[in-house]
């Protein structure tokens, strides 16, 4: 029992919760990116990947629930910590000069909240496929976004390729996506190194390297994700429209 109280009751424990849930979500981001980038390998590859996931609900649902739990824990710990942190300084300074603290580190709550909003939109957009919010007038869940599976006559799979092309060809959707990714990247640039710090996996020897690596990885993730809407806006996959 002590373990549970130490983790969920103490300030350090809540940071572990935040770090570990953050780490899982970070790993998901990498996996998700690897999946998405298959769009550049053509419709067959990415559609096969999409079908692989969707045709195995016994795998995908536990994963989704696990990720959701991580997200809840991440948000819960952030909310708890923020409430405590506000309470720790009831009287603000008249003049306050943040020293050394990076912009990213001071705005984690704000970047996190915007990313959270983005995630909800993103799920409704491509996972639940709510027609009203994709701003293209097309129904991603409709039959026009089904494509035959090669080699299996009469079987269809979801046309992920076309959905992405159509989805991102809307300028405002792509703009929100890019904004979301930018803030995610900002969030990660601090979050990745803070994760190592909170779990105690940092020292003076490789600590500075980790800080730099976190920034580089955050930028790479940003570039990776953003490459898709940018390419589409520039005309990639036009033939699928």
Partner 1 sequence: MNLTLRVWRQKNANSPGRFETYEARNILEDMSFLEMLDVVNEELIQRGQEPIAFDSDCREGICGMCSLVINGIPHGGRRGTATCQLHMRHFKDGDTITIEPWRARAFPLIKDLVVDRSAFDRIIQAGGFISVNTGGTPDGNAIPVPKPDADAAMDAAACIGCGACVAVCKNASAMLFVAAKVSHLNLLPQGKVEKDRRALNMVRQMDAEGFGNCTVTGSCEAVCPKEISLSFIAKLNRDYGLATLKGK
The residues binding partner 1 (CB under 8 A) are 2-3, 6-7, 10-16, 81, 84-85, 87-102, 105-106, 108, 190, 193-194, 196-204, 207
Q: Minimum Å distance from CB 114 to partner 1?
A: 17
The smaller minimum CB distance to partner 1, of residues 88 and 153, is found at 88
At which residue do the structure tokens 């799920």 appear? Answer: 123
Contact between 25 and 216 under an 8 Å Cβ cutoff? The reply is no
Q: Minimum Å distance from CB 146 to partner 1?
A: 47
The smaller minimum CB distance to partner 1, of residues 106 and 150, is found at 106
The smaller minimum CB distance to partner 1, of residues 39 and 104, is found at 104
First-residue to last-residue Cα distance in the chain: 57
Q: Minimum Å distance from CB 218 to partner 1?
A: 15
Pseudo-torsion of CA 17, 30, 191, 209, nearest 10°?
A: 120
The smaller minimum CB distance to partner 1, of residues 66 and 103, is found at 103
The smaller minimum CB distance to partner 1, of residues 4 and 234, is found at 4
At which residue do the structure tokens 């409430």 appear? Answer: 83
Contact between 69 and 28 under an 8 Å Cβ cutoff? The reply is no
Q: Minimum Å distance from CB 30 to partner 1?
A: 22
Residues belonging to the chain: 241
Other C-beta atoms lying within 10 Å of the C-beta of residue 241? 11
Which two tokens mark 5?
């109280």
The smaller minimum CB distance to partner 1, of residues 185 and 189, is found at 189
Q: Minimum Å distance from CB 79 to partner 1?
A: 12
Q: Minimum Å distance from CB 212 to partner 1?
A: 14
Pseudo-torsion of CA 101, 102, 108, 114, nearest 10°?
A: 150
For residues 190 and 234, what is the distance between their CA atoms, to the nearest angstrom? 31
Long-range contacts, stretch 53-62, CB < 8 angstroms, 24+ apart: 54/157, 54/158
């Amino acid at each position: 029992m002590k373990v549970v109280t130490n983790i969920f009751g103490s300030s350090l424990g809540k940071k572990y919760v935040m770090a570990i849930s953050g780490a899982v979500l970070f790993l998901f981001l990498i996996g998700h990116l690897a999946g998405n980038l298959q769009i550049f390998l053509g419709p067959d590859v990415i559609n096969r990947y999409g079908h692989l996931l969707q045709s195995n609900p016994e795998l995908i649902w536990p994963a989704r629930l696990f990720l959701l739990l991580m997200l809840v824990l991440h948000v819960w710990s952030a909310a708890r910590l923020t409430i405590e942190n506000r309470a720790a300084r009831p009287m603000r300074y008249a003049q306050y000069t943040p020293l050394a603290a990076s912009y990213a580190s001071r705005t984690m709550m704000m970047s996190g909240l915007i990313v959270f909003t983005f995630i909800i939109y993103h799920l409704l957009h491509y996972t639940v496929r709510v027609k009203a919010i994709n701003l293209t007038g097309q129904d991603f869940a409709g039959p026009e976004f089904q494509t035959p599976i090669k080699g299996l006559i009469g079987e269809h799979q979801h046309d992920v390729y076309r959905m992405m092309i159509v989805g991102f060809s809307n300028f405002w959707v792509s703009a929100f996506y890019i904004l979301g990714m930018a803030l995610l990247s900002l969030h990660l640039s601090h979050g990745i190194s803070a994760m190592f710090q909170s779990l105690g996996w940092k020292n003076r020897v490789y600590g500075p390297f980790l800080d730099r690596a976190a920034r580089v990885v955050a930028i790479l993730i940003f570039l990776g994700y953003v490459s898709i809407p940018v390419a589409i806006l520039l005309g990639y996959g036009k033939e699928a429209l």
